[in-house]
Amino acid sequence: MPCVEGFVVPVPTANKEAYRRQAAEAAPLFQEFGATRMVEAWGDDVPDGKVTDFKGAVNATDDETVVFSWFEYPDKATRDSANAKMRDDPLMKAFGESMPFDGKRMIFGGFDPMIDEASGARGGYVDGYLVPVPEANRQAYREMAQKAADVFQEYGATRVVEAWGDDVPAGEVTDHRRAVKATEDERVVFSWVEWPSKQARDDAWPKIMQDERMKPDPDNMPFDGKRMIYGGFSPIVDV
Protein backbone atom coordinates (compact mmCIF):
# COMPACT_ATOMS: atom_id res chain seq x y z
CA MET A 1 0.00 0.00 0.00
CA PRO A 2 1.45 3.42 -0.97
CA CYS A 3 2.72 5.73 1.75
CA VAL A 4 3.10 9.51 1.86
CA GLU A 5 5.56 11.48 3.97
CA GLY A 6 4.08 14.95 4.38
CA PHE A 7 5.96 18.09 5.39
CA VAL A 8 5.26 21.75 6.11
CA VAL A 9 8.40 23.91 6.26
CA PRO A 10 9.07 27.57 7.19
CA VAL A 11 11.73 28.95 4.82
CA PRO A 12 13.15 32.48 4.84
CA THR A 13 11.83 34.04 1.66
CA ALA A 14 15.34 35.21 0.77
CA ASN A 15 16.49 31.57 0.85
CA LYS A 16 14.09 30.31 -1.82
CA GLU A 17 16.78 29.46 -4.37
CA ALA A 18 19.06 27.90 -1.73
CA TYR A 19 16.16 25.74 -0.54
CA ARG A 20 15.20 24.74 -4.08
CA ARG A 21 18.79 23.90 -4.97
CA GLN A 22 19.35 21.77 -1.87
CA ALA A 23 16.07 19.91 -2.38
CA ALA A 24 16.95 19.23 -6.03
CA GLU A 25 20.39 17.98 -5.05
CA ALA A 26 18.91 15.67 -2.41
CA ALA A 27 16.25 14.24 -4.75
CA PRO A 28 18.45 11.55 -6.37
CA LEU A 29 19.34 10.24 -2.92
CA PHE A 30 15.66 10.01 -1.92
CA GLN A 31 14.99 8.16 -5.16
CA GLU A 32 17.85 5.77 -4.41
CA PHE A 33 16.24 5.08 -1.04
CA GLY A 34 12.93 4.23 -2.69
CA ALA A 35 10.91 7.43 -3.08
CA THR A 36 8.81 7.42 -6.26
CA ARG A 37 8.02 11.13 -6.24
CA MET A 38 9.22 14.19 -4.33
CA VAL A 39 7.44 17.55 -4.51
CA GLU A 40 8.43 20.86 -2.90
CA ALA A 41 5.77 23.55 -3.38
CA TRP A 42 6.41 27.20 -2.48
CA GLY A 43 3.68 29.18 -0.71
CA ASP A 44 1.86 31.42 -3.19
CA ASP A 45 -1.66 32.00 -1.85
CA VAL A 46 -1.54 31.12 1.86
CA PRO A 47 -4.26 33.00 3.74
CA ASP A 48 -4.40 33.80 7.42
CA GLY A 49 -7.00 31.80 9.32
CA LYS A 50 -9.14 32.75 12.31
CA VAL A 51 -8.25 29.60 14.26
CA THR A 52 -5.47 27.81 12.36
CA ASP A 53 -3.41 28.37 9.20
CA PHE A 54 -0.20 27.21 7.53
CA LYS A 55 1.86 30.09 8.89
CA GLY A 56 0.82 29.36 12.45
CA ALA A 57 1.42 25.63 11.88
CA VAL A 58 5.18 26.27 11.69
CA ASN A 59 5.36 29.57 13.60
CA ALA A 60 6.40 31.34 10.38
CA THR A 61 7.75 34.85 10.74
CA ASP A 62 6.92 37.77 8.45
CA ASP A 63 10.06 37.17 6.39
CA GLU A 64 9.36 33.45 5.86
CA THR A 65 7.34 31.54 3.27
CA VAL A 66 5.62 28.22 3.95
CA VAL A 67 6.56 25.21 1.83
CA PHE A 68 4.10 22.33 1.40
CA SER A 69 6.01 19.18 0.54
CA TRP A 70 5.53 15.45 0.18
CA PHE A 71 7.45 12.27 -0.69
CA GLU A 72 5.67 9.23 -2.10
CA TYR A 73 6.79 5.66 -1.41
CA PRO A 74 5.44 2.33 -2.69
CA ASP A 75 4.72 1.21 0.89
CA LYS A 76 5.35 2.06 4.54
CA ALA A 77 8.22 -0.43 4.84
CA THR A 78 10.13 1.38 2.07
CA ARG A 79 9.46 4.72 3.71
CA ASP A 80 10.67 3.48 7.10
CA SER A 81 13.78 1.98 5.52
CA ALA A 82 14.48 5.24 3.66
CA ASN A 83 14.22 7.29 6.84
CA ALA A 84 16.65 4.94 8.59
CA LYS A 85 19.15 5.24 5.72
CA MET A 86 18.83 9.03 5.69
CA ARG A 87 19.82 9.22 9.35
CA ASP A 88 23.08 7.39 8.62
CA ASP A 89 23.94 8.79 5.19
CA PRO A 90 26.91 11.25 5.26
CA LEU A 91 25.45 13.35 2.43
CA MET A 92 22.19 13.76 4.35
CA LYS A 93 24.16 14.76 7.42
CA ALA A 94 25.94 17.40 5.34
CA PHE A 95 22.59 18.70 4.09
CA GLY A 96 21.39 18.81 7.70
CA GLU A 97 24.32 20.97 8.72
CA SER A 98 23.59 23.55 6.01
CA MET A 99 19.79 23.71 5.97
CA PRO A 100 18.47 27.06 4.66
CA PHE A 101 15.57 26.93 7.15
CA ASP A 102 14.84 26.21 10.82
CA GLY A 103 14.48 22.43 10.97
CA LYS A 104 13.10 22.58 14.52
CA ARG A 105 9.90 24.13 13.17
CA MET A 106 9.47 21.77 10.21
CA ILE A 107 6.53 19.41 10.70
CA PHE A 108 6.41 15.94 9.18
CA GLY A 109 4.61 12.62 9.40
CA GLY A 110 3.56 9.46 7.59
CA PHE A 111 0.15 9.20 5.93
CA ASP A 112 -1.87 6.39 4.38
CA PRO A 113 -3.64 7.46 1.13
CA MET A 114 -7.33 6.57 1.25
CA ILE A 115 -8.20 8.51 -1.93
CA ASP A 116 -5.86 8.93 -4.88
CA GLU A 117 -7.62 10.03 -8.06
CA ALA A 118 -5.34 11.05 -10.92
CA SER A 119 -5.60 11.80 -14.62
CA GLY A 120 -1.95 10.91 -15.20
CA ALA A 121 -0.69 14.47 -15.72
CA ARG A 122 1.45 16.19 -13.09
CA GLY A 123 0.10 19.43 -11.76
CA GLY A 124 1.60 22.88 -12.16
CA TYR A 125 -0.14 24.23 -9.05
CA VAL A 126 -1.15 22.66 -5.74
CA ASP A 127 -3.87 23.32 -3.18
CA GLY A 128 -2.66 21.85 0.10
CA TYR A 129 -4.73 20.98 3.17
CA LEU A 130 -4.36 19.73 6.74
CA VAL A 131 -7.62 18.50 8.29
CA PRO A 132 -8.47 17.27 11.82
CA VAL A 133 -10.91 14.35 11.56
CA PRO A 134 -12.38 12.31 14.44
CA GLU A 135 -11.12 8.76 14.12
CA ALA A 136 -14.71 7.49 14.31
CA ASN A 137 -15.59 9.59 11.24
CA ARG A 138 -12.95 8.15 8.90
CA GLN A 139 -15.44 6.45 6.59
CA ALA A 140 -17.82 9.44 6.55
CA TYR A 141 -14.89 11.71 5.71
CA ARG A 142 -13.68 9.39 2.97
CA GLU A 143 -17.14 9.31 1.37
CA MET A 144 -17.41 13.10 1.48
CA ALA A 145 -13.88 13.54 0.13
CA GLN A 146 -14.54 11.11 -2.73
CA LYS A 147 -17.53 13.16 -3.86
CA ALA A 148 -15.41 16.32 -3.69
CA ALA A 149 -12.59 14.65 -5.65
CA ASP A 150 -15.00 13.82 -8.46
CA VAL A 151 -16.08 17.47 -8.62
CA PHE A 152 -12.49 18.78 -8.55
CA GLN A 153 -11.54 16.54 -11.45
CA GLU A 154 -14.64 17.48 -13.39
CA TYR A 155 -13.47 21.09 -13.25
CA GLY A 156 -9.90 20.35 -14.27
CA ALA A 157 -7.90 19.01 -11.32
CA THR A 158 -5.27 16.49 -12.41
CA ARG A 159 -4.98 14.66 -9.09
CA VAL A 160 -6.68 14.55 -5.68
CA VAL A 161 -5.09 12.80 -2.69
CA GLU A 162 -6.49 12.37 0.82
CA ALA A 163 -4.04 10.66 3.17
CA TRP A 164 -4.94 9.51 6.70
CA GLY A 165 -2.44 10.13 9.51
CA ASP A 166 -0.63 6.87 10.23
CA ASP A 167 2.68 7.86 11.86
CA VAL A 168 2.45 11.48 12.98
CA PRO A 169 5.01 12.13 15.73
CA ALA A 170 4.85 14.84 18.37
CA GLY A 171 7.44 17.57 17.87
CA GLU A 172 9.30 19.67 20.40
CA VAL A 173 8.21 22.96 18.84
CA THR A 174 5.60 22.19 16.16
CA ASP A 175 3.87 19.15 14.66
CA HIS A 176 0.91 18.22 12.47
CA ARG A 177 -1.44 17.66 15.40
CA ARG A 178 -0.74 21.01 16.99
CA ALA A 179 -1.07 22.66 13.57
CA VAL A 180 -4.81 21.84 13.49
CA LYS A 181 -5.32 21.74 17.28
CA ALA A 182 -6.23 18.04 17.02
CA THR A 183 -7.89 16.43 20.03
CA GLU A 184 -6.98 12.98 21.36
CA ASP A 185 -9.74 11.32 19.34
CA GLU A 186 -8.77 12.99 16.04
CA ARG A 187 -6.37 12.08 13.26
CA VAL A 188 -4.72 14.51 10.85
CA VAL A 189 -5.44 14.20 7.12
CA PHE A 190 -2.73 15.43 4.73
CA SER A 191 -4.40 16.29 1.44
CA TRP A 192 -3.65 18.00 -1.84
CA VAL A 193 -5.27 18.84 -5.17
CA GLU A 194 -3.09 19.30 -8.26
CA TRP A 195 -4.07 21.62 -11.10
CA PRO A 196 -2.52 22.17 -14.55
CA SER A 197 -1.76 25.79 -13.57
CA LYS A 198 -2.72 28.50 -11.12
CA GLN A 199 -4.99 30.02 -13.77
CA ALA A 200 -6.80 26.70 -14.18
CA ARG A 201 -7.28 26.52 -10.42
CA ASP A 202 -8.50 30.11 -10.17
CA ASP A 203 -10.93 29.56 -13.05
CA ALA A 204 -12.27 26.37 -11.47
CA TRP A 205 -12.86 27.53 -7.91
CA PRO A 206 -15.89 29.81 -8.54
CA LYS A 207 -17.56 26.96 -10.44
CA ILE A 208 -16.74 24.50 -7.66
CA MET A 209 -18.16 26.78 -4.98
CA GLN A 210 -21.39 27.21 -6.96
CA ASP A 211 -21.80 23.49 -7.62
CA GLU A 212 -24.69 22.07 -5.58
CA ARG A 213 -22.68 18.93 -4.86
CA MET A 214 -20.20 21.02 -2.86
CA LYS A 215 -22.76 22.75 -0.65
CA PRO A 216 -21.85 21.86 2.96
CA ASP A 217 -24.34 20.27 5.33
CA PRO A 218 -23.45 21.90 8.66
CA ASP A 219 -25.33 19.23 10.61
CA ASN A 220 -23.38 16.36 9.04
CA MET A 221 -19.82 17.62 8.59
CA PRO A 222 -17.41 14.81 9.57
CA PHE A 223 -14.75 17.31 10.75
CA ASP A 224 -14.37 20.80 12.20
CA GLY A 225 -13.96 23.04 9.17
CA LYS A 226 -12.85 25.97 11.33
CA ARG A 227 -9.61 24.13 12.07
CA MET A 228 -8.91 22.97 8.52
CA ILE A 229 -5.78 24.55 7.05
CA TYR A 230 -5.49 25.34 3.34
CA GLY A 231 -3.40 27.29 0.86
CA GLY A 232 -2.11 27.49 -2.71
CA PHE A 233 1.45 26.49 -3.61
CA SER A 234 3.68 26.56 -6.71
CA PRO A 235 5.95 23.51 -7.20
CA ILE A 236 9.65 24.40 -7.32
CA VAL A 237 10.88 20.78 -7.30
CA ASP A 238 8.91 17.83 -8.71
CA VAL A 239 10.98 14.71 -9.23
pTM of the model: 0.96
CA distance 163 to 30: 20
Share of the chain above pLDDT 90, in %: 89
Q: Tell me which amino acid residue 16 is.
A: K
pLDDT at 120 over 80: no
CA distance 18 to 107: 20
Q: Who contacts 204 (Cβ-Cβ below 8 Å, separation ≥6)?
A: 152, 155, 156, 157, 195
Comparing C-alpha atoms, which of 167, 207, 217 is closest to residue 188? 167
In the prediction, which pLDDT does 163 show? 98
The predicted-structure confidence for 49-83, as pLDDT tens digits, reads as follows 999 999 999 999 999 999 999 999 999 999 999 99
CA distance 198 to 123: 10
What mean pLDDT, rounded, does the chain reach?
Answer: 95
Domain ranges of the chain: 3-238
Q: Determine the 3-state secondary structure of 175 from DSSP.
A: coil
Q: Which DSSP string corresponds to 94-161?
A: HHHHT-SS-GGG-EEEEEEEEEEEE-SPPPSEEEEEEEEEEGGGHHHHHHHHHHHHHHHHHTT-SEEE
CA distance 63 to 46: 14
| Crossing angle between the packed helical segments 90-97 and 16-32, to the nearest 10 degrees | 170
Kindly list the distances between the CA atom of residue 1 and the CA atoms of 29, 111, 162, 233, in Å, as whole numbers in the listed order: 22, 11, 14, 27
pLDDT at 95 over 90: no
What number does CATH give the domain 3-238? 3.30.70.100
The predicted-structure confidence for 159-203, as pLDDT tens digits, reads as follows 999 999 999 999 999 999 999 999 999 999 999 999 999 999 999
Rg (CA), the chain: 17
